Chain A
Amino acid sequence: MSTDSLKWLWYASPQTFYPLAGILARGCAVAAAVLAVIGLYIGFFVAPTDAQQGEAYRIIFIHVPAAWMSMFLYVVMAFWAAIGLAFNTRLSGMMATALAPTGALFTFVALWTGALWGKPTWGTWWVWDARLTSELILLFLYLGFMALQAAIDEPRRADRAGAVLAIVGVINIPIIYYSVEWWNTLHQGASVSLKSAPSMAATMFAGMIVMAAAFWMYSIAVTLVRVRCIILERE
């Protein structure tokens, strides 16, 4: 058991992780490209046209995976931040720093594609729906994290200050989500609800899962490339 854990800890050092990250990033980038091609093919050519929403619904193949990743990446970021704070490992803080821009990008993509989808379907670019609002606040949390790290010159302090903020944020996300949802029902009633959407065809679901996997691989690849840059910069 001890040798196993040693093997894992071996890669906790930036120097030894650097070449591994390069190999992993290349593999994940290839996987992301292949999966994205398959996913987009399913999305554009295999999945049937939606009876109610027409062709406009096809943006969900980008939108839904992006929204999933945006939330997932924040949790991953907070996880690495917490590890870094607890064990004082340099690499964990670098991972958190490297994850933030990708997470913010996916949050923005989710909001943007949501607006593009909302215009033809709901007739409006934006509604103060609970999910939209909490996604917007999630974007603010990402931007706050990045702004805090950018404002601190000393990398170790930046890592640890960002870690505290990420952990506070991850505790707050459920509170924010439920308060916004509650506020929403209090204010405007359920005028538009994603929950009442018709259950989707199996091919649509398959397309979404494949695209989510593609985005996941893309996130790993980009994060690892960014970690390599950070390692080069700092070490």
Chain B
Amino acid sequence: MLAALRCIVYRDLLLALRRRSDVATALLFFIIVASLFPLGIGAEPNLLRSIAPGVIWVAALLSSMLSLGRLFAADYADGTLEQILLGAAPLGAVVAAKALAHWLVSGLPLVLIAPVLALQYDLALPLFWVLSLSLLIGTPVLSMIGAIGAALTLGLRGGGVLLSLLVLPLYVPVLIIGAGSVDMAAAGLAPDAQLLLLAAMLITAAAFAPWAVAAALRISIE
């Protein structure tokens, strides 16, 4: 079973590598959205410092949502998904592997580029770690929850907008706790509680989301 999962992660990564522009688009979107806020709000350093965690987190949310549509769409279009459903590997595990691959392609780059954006927003250096760590723990949760929405909207008219309507309200707790951890650190307090809560969400999502995604895929395919 592990071999099958490794194979799926490897395959999805390879596919992403062959179509690098898709990955780059989501990342660019993240950078551009985060860069637009100072232009709209004004470049007053104190203001920027106070909105930075929220803005970067919201940008990460939107960017990871943009790439969700691709999670199952291509496999659905060429029939691979049906083969996976018929195959011997448990669907929940396959889905978890696909979500992991999605995170490696769309979440991890955000985590790596976030410190650069934090520089733009003049965040204090110790906060970089908290921001990156919160994104590192939080973005996989986004991939997991997003996979549920992607599976439900598979092959529907206006899938993209519908997907955001379904998924964004469910993202709220991750946004609050994730941005809250940086705020907490900025206020000079230990952000441990928020980071642990994020980790708890990650574990909960990892345990239950694949199950829901599998159910949703079965409904969408039949």
Binding site for B on A (CB under 8 A): 85, 137, 140-141, 143-144, 147-148, 151-152, 157, 160-161, 164-165, 167-169, 171-172, 175-176, 179-180, 182-183, 186-187
Contacts and interface: CB of A to CB of B under 8 A. Distances in A.
B77 interface: no
Contacts of A160: 219
B interface secondary structure, majority: helix
Chain A CB within 10 A, most for which of B166, B212, B215: B166
What 10 pairs across the A-B complex have the smallest Cβ distances?
A179-B173, A140-B169, A183-B176, A144-B166, A160-B219, A179-B176, A151-B156, A144-B165, A175-B173, A164-B216
Given A157-B219, A168-B212, A176 B165 contact: no
Contacts of B177: 179
Contact of A152 (B156, B183, B184, B222): B156
Interface in B145-183: 148, 152-153, 156-159, 162, 165-166, 168-170, 172-173, 176-177, 180, 183
B220 interface: yes
Given A148-B162, A186-B180, A164 B212 contact: yes
A85 B219 CA distance: 10
Nearest to A172: B170
Interface residues of B, number: 28
Interface in B185-222: 201, 208, 212, 215-216, 219-220, 222
Given A148-B166, A152-B156, A164-B152, A176 B172 contact: yes
B172 A165 contact: no
Interface in B112-158: 148, 152-153, 156-158
Nearest to B177: A179
A168 B180 CA distance: 24
Given A140-B165, A165-B166, A176-B172, A148 B153 contact: yes
Nearest to B145: A168
A137 B171 CA distance: 11
Chain B CB within 10 A, most for which of A160, A165, A168: A168
Nearest to A186: B180
B97 to A, nearest CB: 20
B219 A161 contact: yes
A137 B174 CA distance: 14
Contacts of A186: 180, 183-184
Nearest to A180: B176
Nearest to A137: B169
A161 B220 contact: yes
Contact of A148 (B152, B173, B176, B208): B152
A168 B166 CA distance: 11
Contacts of A148: 152-153, 162, 166
Contacts of A164: 148, 152, 212, 215-216, 219
Given A161-B216, A164-B212, A144 B176 contact: no
Nearest to A136: B169
